[in-house]
Structure 1
């Protein structure tokens, strides 16, 4: 099971990074009509939520700055950002570093039951699978936002 999870995670994350790094910088902080956030926010959110799911951020992991919860957690938005916000280059580097750490998680960990089920997920492996699903959802949002922004700019 863990080999399949690692392979799925690596496939999803490598594609996510490839798409994000190819984006025009001019569109990263545009919030198109009908969307709650920006591409910049989505990238930070994916990083932050994966850190929560896989490493217990912010209580058990110090690999990301604590303020990422205030910037990128569910329910946050760029309109409320204050202080230092990481650049897309920083986020991209952190996504790559996080992928390496995820691949170092012991295989037996994925069978462990969660203390409290989360969104229907009962084991750490199920939660890891949900992290992959979550990342894919946000990748779809990023791609949709890119198309909407580019279409608006073409007029």
Structure 2
């Protein structure tokens, strides 16, 4: 699998997510519009966490994960802001971590995309396929963030 293809697509989705996040008014960051379960702040954290879970945990490389363990309780699957017991990391930190994550993943994975991975719910057979599956997942959140921004108007 070609590294430039894989990371072009992941970078594209992250770029769109970060562009939408930049358009979010400060007073809308923690608003959950009717019909939604989460706000944009949650989506940023969830993409950060789920990307590492999908790529690193599912490839038996959990030791490479960079986010603090408490992020799972805030942004993991099945979480929502109305259940939070602690304050989330600030918006600016999540944005910075998302930007940093792309470079870290590309540096770590650039020569490993064809490495086989264990059975997983994506049915991915290699690290590269996990990255592509994660890119699709990120695109779903880009769509949700876009919809939330429209609902906030």
The question of a shared fold, defined as TM-score above 0.5 by the shorter chain, is answered with yes
In the alignment, what sits opposite 1:23?
Answer: 24
What secondary structure does 2:35 align onto?
Answer: coil
Instruction: Single out whichever of 58-67 and 24-33 deviates more from structure 2.
Output: 58-67
Counterpart-to-counterpart distance in 2, 1:119 and 1:59: 17
Kindly indicate whether the alpha-carbon contact (under 8 Å) linking 1:21 and 1:92 is maintained by their aligned counterparts in 2.
no
Q: CA RMSD in A?
A: 1.7
**Cα displacement (A) at 1:117:** 2.9
In the alignment, what sits opposite 1:8?
Answer: 9
Aligned residues: 150
TM-score (norm 1): 0.89
1:127 aligns with 2:130: yes
1:78 aligns with 2:81: yes
- Structure 1 stretches of 5 or more lacking a match? 151-155
- Structure 2 stretches of 5 or more lacking a match? none
Counterpart-to-counterpart distance in 1, 2:140 and 2:65: 26
1:34 aligns with 2:35: yes
TM-score (norm 2): 0.90
- Higher relative contact order (CA closer than 8 Å, sequence separation 6+): 2
- Following superposition, which runs of at least 4 residues in structure 1 exceed 6 angstroms of deviation? none
What secondary structure does 1:86 align onto?
Answer: coil
Structure that is richer in strand per residue:
1
In the alignment, what sits opposite 1:153?
Answer: none
User: Which of 116, 119, 124 matches 2:119?
Assistant: 116
How does 1:95-106 map onto structure 2 within 5 Å?
Answer: 95-106=98-109
